[in-house]
């Protein structure tokens, strides 16, 4: 089952990750000072995820494709893993569009 997981980093800040139905991490957020901010960020990612216009498809310096998920205001909500091909990246985006809107938010702190 797809889920957003709220975690605490070693520097006492919070972040969220999105995991697809297969359990693999697909997206990593920025760091947040408070847990509630990380929860709000996961909620914003859920809201933005169904819409193709909120994804930026990019290529890393090592030529591996990845994507950014952005909020309606253009703020980056999360960065994906890198993928072996543009097809794999685009498949991940399609999976996120389909599963993230109904994914649970799990507190792992």
The structural domains of the chain, with segments of one domain joined by +, span 3-107
User: Using alpha carbons only, what angle is made at residue 35 by residues 11 and 100, rounded to the nearest 5 degrees?
Assistant: 110
Are the CB atoms for 26 and 81 separated by under 8 Å?
yes
pLDDT of the chain along its 109 residues, tens only? 999 999 999 999 999 999 999 999 999 999 999 999 999 999 999 999 999 999 999 999 999 999 999 999 999 999 999 999 999 999 999 999 999 999 999 999 8
Backbone phi and psi for residue 5, each to the nearest 5 degrees, phi listed first: -120, 125
Taking domain 3-107, whether its CATH number is 2.30.29.80 is answered by yes
Question: Look-up: residue for tokens 């000072």?
Answer: 33
Task: Please give the structure tokens belonging to residue 9.
Answer: 């980093």
């Amino acid at each position: 089952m797809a889920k957003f997981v709220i975690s605490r980093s070693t520097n006492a800040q919070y972040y969220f990750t999105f995991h697809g139905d297969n359990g693999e991490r697909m997206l990593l957020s920025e760091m947040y000072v408070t847990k509630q901010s990380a929860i709000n960020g996961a909620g914003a990612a859920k809201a933005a995820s169904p819409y193709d216009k909120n994804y930026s498809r990019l290529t890393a310096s090592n030529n591996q494709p990845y994507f950014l998920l952005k909020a309606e205001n253009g703020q980056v909500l999360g960065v994906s893993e890198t993928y072996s091909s543009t097809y794999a990246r685009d498949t991940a985006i399609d999976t996120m569009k389909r599963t993230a809107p109904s994914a649970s938010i799990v507190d792992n702190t």
